[in-house]
Amino acid sequence: MGDKTDVWQGTLALMVLKTLESMGPQHGYGIARRIEQTSGNRLALNYGTLYPALLKLEQEGAIESEWGTSDNNRKAKFYRLTRAGRKQLEREARNWEQATAIVARFLSPAEEA
């Protein structure tokens, strides 16, 4: 199926927030697996990138965490979206849609006048 690629800069927070919105509270491993699954296993998610992103989102108030027990009966930190996180998700999704629309204009064949 081809090589996996790294997560694009500036998109990890958006993917984490969207994952938590759609899946509800998840631990880091679950978030990583879901992002990779949603990408069709085309993205490689480095845990050295994920956990600092989770910490940053938590410090910003976009997510909250609490310790719990995972499905395999291990202690795990579960993250959930906050109200501020939902607003941030809306903002980041809107910005991403605008950015991709701009780039798409450059990739589209020029329209004849």
Q: Residue 65 belongs to a domain with what CATH number?
A: 1.10.10.10
Q: How far apart are CA 29 and CA 35, in angstroms?
A: 10
Segment 5-9 shows an average pLDDT of 71
Domain count, the chain: 1
Tell me the residue type at 12. L
Which pLDDT value is given to residue 96?
92
pLDDT tens for residues 14-25?
Answer: 999 999 999 999
Q: How far apart are CA 96 and CA 59, in angstroms?
A: 22
Sign, CA dihedral 39-16-26-82, equals: negative
Asked if the structure places residue 113 within a domain, the reply is: no
Domain containing residue 31: 5-107
**Res. 2: pLDDT tops 80:** no
pLDDT tens for residues 38-69?
Answer: 999 998 887 888 999 999 999 999 999 999 99
Which pLDDT value is given to residue 49?
86
Asked if the structure places residue 112 within a domain, the reply is: no
Using alpha carbons, list the distances in angstroms from residue 90 to 17, 58, 94: 10, 17, 6
Q: How far apart are CA 80 and CA 70, in angstroms?
A: 15
